[in-house]
Chain A
Amino acid sequence: MSKPKVGFFSFTSCEGCQLVVLSMADKLFDLLGAVEVVNFREASSYKGEDYDVAIVEGALSTVHEIEEIRAIRQQAKILIALGACAHIGGINCIRNFDNQFEIKKSVYGDKVANFDSILAQPIDAVVKVDYYSRGCPPNRDGEEFVEIVTAILQGKKPYIPNFPVCVQCKMKGNVCTFHKERPITCLGPVTRAGCSAHCPSYGNACIGCRGLVEEPNLNAHQETLSGAGLTVEESLKFYRMLNGMMEVGK
């Protein structure tokens, strides 16, 4: 593949994923040598529409965004979903389980009809996604993002782990969060690895930001969560922090 043209696009999100890309420092210089960035609004006032690769962050949460992602998909030969909002809907889907009209009304009052907002959904709920760079945020030095972009440039398949975070957590020698003196419940047993178990290594719990592993053992995990004192309703809330979309067949 000759030097591909890349466009960055941002939907409903904190835009932290683009910042992680900007923070890659040295690797960024290497990548800039291999691709041509034609659209990156957060970093550039130049707007080109001739991209081959679209890198998309954020969930879709307005009618307008759905129209935009369809147009982007038509133009792009390759579409990469960057970060948890684009991949699994992420934090935005928490509100999907509330009454949408009530939420909008509580914010905009009698002006509610003027504002466009629909249920939040990941990119692949609307268009096909070719690659996922997972995480909230994508792992810090951008290893997986670089892995994906490199694989595309070399025409190879990127390596993305398909085993749970627990595997990497054990390899790091962490004490299991469920077995600490004051236990913290954790989504590590069902979440896809690739983050080096970063959150448990910093003394906190995995909150499932990389989405679920293929065929997760949800029943066993529910038993563990119950054993740690969570009700079924609380367990669901825990999952729904970032993975609300899994319940509607993702």
Chain B
Amino acid sequence: MSKDININVHHVARVEGHGNIVIDVQSGELKKVELQIVESPRFFEAMLRGRRFPEAPQITSRICGICAVGHTTASLRALEDALGIEPSEQTLLLRKAVLEAEIMQSHVLHYYFLVAPDFFSVPSVIPLAASHPDVVKRALRMKKLADDIVTIIAGRHPHPISMVVDGFTHIPTEAQLRDALKQLKTMLSDDVPPTLDLFASLKFPAFERKTDYVALKHPDEYAYYDGIIHSTETGETRHRDYKNKVKEEVVLHSTAKQAKGPFRPYMVGALSRFNINSDQLMPAAKAAAQKLGLAAPNYNPYLISAAQVVESVHNIERMIYLIEELLRRGLKDETVERQTIAGWSAKLPPVKKCWGVGAVEVPRGVLFHEYRIDDDGLLSWANCVIPTGQNLANIEDDMRALVPTILDRPQEEITLLLEMLVRAYDPCISCSVHMLKVDFV
């Protein structure tokens, strides 16, 4: 069949940031597939140059309003990697809890507010508030609890306040944690089952394309905070060697750099993590995967949303575990004994020239921050590699594989399927256009 199709979706809606989809088919032959990124450049790496090192988490948090805790965590881990600082057990538990909370709020926002409207054939969650108020109220309740947990631990969401180098400037009270624990347990018993019922009833588009799946992997837990870089195609890479796996290049249709693996584009995010680490999920999350018919490995990118539903159940269970552990140990104010370093401590501690890398799983996949620090404690160089940047080339490959199989359908349906594909990846475009400093070859 020979057919001409010209699709140009200007500013894909219900994604974070500004992106266009451009497809050109002439006489049944696919000529052009582009996910154009038209977000304004941000130049975060340039902003960091010459700033005091403890400012890095505060500045890079502002890369993204959805995964601000993720950027803060990656930033702190890069600084601590460089400075040789090992935070306390309590700090690790608190950081892990707040990261789980942020991943959950991002996933809930994505699958309920940004993906679900497609399945109800409405343009947004706003008409759903009238037609399905129970669904929207449940979504808001789940998102609010996650936001509240970030708030009691880190001060607010987005842009955490109390997360600083080597600890927290403020510790939640045990009463606040006990209250959060109670609400988490209620959520697991009351809000999770109807969420699973809803998403088990949705029919995700059928499409499969095996790619390289990349995520952190850790021997003790489903990796978010810490781990080795694992690829289903190329094996393992240490976090400090991330550039062996990630190579960024400028493409003219994107203000965000595309990052690709040494051999071909790869996928990061919830489905990659699920494919690599699903045996480490908590029990209710494993049951949720079964209910949604999701088994590893899965090669359908539309099911990233289903993997997010599964992960959000895991996030709730992990927060319950982490908070119970914190309460069992008893919380103490460590700011007295440890040299926590807030952004504008009047005096910087003495620092020797050093560099470090932080690799952390954030809602959309693995995030890298790399910094060089000078003898005077100022940042001399910075690089941030964002999950969405890593996914862009893979999304284009998916579109290249998908379009020829759906050419016989009406143009509106092709457009919707492509928009749904892009949305499934949950692209965080303002994040990816933070502008990377790389060497050109």
Residue with the highest number of chain A CB atoms closer than 10 Å, among B52, B159, B347 = B159
A42 touches B16 (CB 8 A): yes
Is the pair A16, B124 in contact by a Cβ cutoff of 8 Å?
no
Q: A40-B124, A44-B126, A204-B169 are in contact. Are A107 and B41 (CB under 8 A)?
A: yes
Contact of B156 with A by CB under 8 A: yes
Expressed in whole angstroms, the minimum distance between the Cβ of A10 and any Cβ of chain B is 8
Report A98 CB to chain B, min CB distance, Å. 6
- Please determine whether A62 and B40 come into contact, CB atoms closer than 8 angstroms: yes
Complex partner residue of B255 from A43, A115, A228, CB under 8 angstroms: A115
Q: Is the Cβ of A117 less than 8 Å from the Cβ of B40?
A: yes
Q: Please give, as numbers and ranges, the residues of chain A lying within 8 Å of B175 by CB-CB distance.
A: none
Q: Are B41's CB and A115's CB within 8 A?
A: yes
Tell me if A156 is interfacial: C-beta within 8 Å of chain B: no
B164 to A: closest C-beta gap in Å:
7
Residue B26 CB within 8 A of the other chain = no
Cβ A202 vs Cβ B430 within 8 A:
no
B140 touches A28 (CB 8 A): yes
Closest-CB distance, A240 to chain B (whole angstroms): 10
Residues of A within 8 A of B343 (CB): 184, 204-205, 207
B158 contact from A14, A42, A107, A198, Cβ within 8 A: A14
User: Can you list 29 A-B contacts with CB-CB less than 8 angstroms, sorted by A residue number?
Assistant: A12-B40, A14-B431, A15-B16, A18-B65, A19-B65, A23-B143, A25-B144, A32-B126, A40-B124, A41-B14, A43-B113, A44-B123, A45-B13, A90-B62, A91-B47, A104-B41, A107-B43, A111-B250, A111-B252, A184-B344, A184-B346, A203-B161, A203-B162, A203-B335, A204-B162, A207-B58, A229-B346, A237-B50, A241-B58
Tell me if A229 and B11 are in contact (CB < 8 A): no
Residues in B with CB closer than 8 Å to A106 are: 45-46, 437
Asked if A16 contacts B158 (CB within 8 A), the reply is yes
B218 in the interface, Cβ–Cβ < 8 Å? no
- A6-45 interface code vs B (CB 8 A; 1 in, 0 out): 0000111111111110110110110010000100111111
In B1-60, the 8 Å CB interface with A consists of 11, 13-18, 40-43, 45-47, 49-52, 55, 58-59
Of the four ranges (under 10, 10 to 19, 20 to 34, 35 or more), the interface on chain B belongs to 35 or more
Residues of B within 8 A of A65 (CB): 40
User: Which A residues are CB-close (under 8 A) to B335?
Assistant: 203
| With contact pairs A41-B13, A91-B47, A117-B40 given, residues A203 and B126 touching in the complex (Cβ less than 8 Å) | no
Please name all residues of chain A whose beta carbon is closer than 8 Å to the beta carbon of B156 when the two chains form the complex.
Answer: 137, 140, 198, 202
Interface of A is mostly: mixed
Q: Is B223 an interface residue (CB 8 A)?
A: no
Question: Does chain A have a CB within 8 A of B345?
Answer: yes
A25-B144, A61-B42 given; 11 more Cβ-contact pairs under 8 Å: A14-B430, A19-B65, A32-B126, A104-B43, A107-B41, A109-B250, A115-B255, A182-B345, A186-B344, A201-B170, A237-B52
Closest to A98 in B: B46
A15-B65, A184-B346 known; A92+B252 contact, CB < 8 A: no
**A107 adjacent to B346 (CB under 8 Å):** no
Report A-chain residues with C-beta under 8 Å of the C-beta of B51: 94, 237
Tell which of B140, B345, B431 touches A25, judged by Cβ atoms closer than 8 Å. B140
B440 contacts A110, C-beta separation under 8 Å: yes
Q: Is the CB of B40 within 8 A of A42?
A: no
Contact with A along B419-441 (1 / 0, CB 8 A): 10000000000110001110010
Question: Considering only CB atoms, which chain B residue lies closest to A12 in the complex?
Answer: B40
With A22-B109, A45-B14 in contact, is A185–B346 under 8 Å at CB? yes
Q: Which residues of B contact A140 (CB under 8 A)?
A: 147, 151, 156-157
Q: Which residues of A contact B129 (CB under 8 A)?
A: 29, 32
A230 at the interface (CB under 8 A from B): yes
User: Are A185's CB and B62's CB within 8 A?
Assistant: no
Report A-chain residues with C-beta under 8 Å of the C-beta of B345: 182-185
Q: Is B98 part of the binding interface, using a Cβ–Cβ cutoff of 8 Å?
A: no
Q: A163 in the interface, Cβ–Cβ < 8 Å?
A: no
- How long is the Cα–Cα vector from A89 to B205 in the complex, in angstroms? 42
Distance to closest chain A CB from B85 (angstroms): 16
Q: Within the complex, which residue of A11, A26, A114, A137 is in contact with B252, where a contact is CB–CB below 8 Å?
A: A114
B66 close to A16 (CB less than 8 A): yes
Query: How far does the alpha carbon of A47 sit from the alpha carbon of B124 in the complex, in Å?
Result: 11
Tell me the complex Cα distance, A25–B114, Å.
16
| Contact call B14/A107, Cβ cutoff below 8 A | no
A109-B440, A203-B162, A228-B346 are contacts. A117–B41 as well, Cβ < 8 Å? yes
User: Could you say which residues of chain B place their CB within 8 Å of the CB of A32?
Assistant: 126, 129
A76, chain B: closest CB distance, angstroms: 19
Could you give, for residues 95-109 of chain A, a 1 whenever the CB lies within 8 Å of some chain B CB and a 0 otherwise?
Answer: 100100001101111
A118, chain B: closest CB distance, angstroms: 10
Contacts of A40 in B (CB 8 A): 124, 126
Q: Decide: B124 and A44 in contact? CB cutoff 8 A.
A: yes
Q: Are B346 and A183 in contact (CB under 8 A)?
A: yes
Cα–Cα distance between A75 and B51 once the two chains are bound (Å): 40
With an 8 A cutoff between CB atoms, is A232 at the interface?
Answer: no
Please state if A198 and B161 are interface contacts (CB–CB under 8 Å). Answer: yes
- Using a CB-CB cutoff of 8 Å, which residues 145-189 of chain B contact chain A? 147, 151, 155-159, 161-162, 164, 168-170
Structural contact, B158 and A137, CB atoms closer than 8 A = yes
Interface flag for B125 (CB, 8 Å): yes
Partner of A202, one of B43, B65, B170: B170
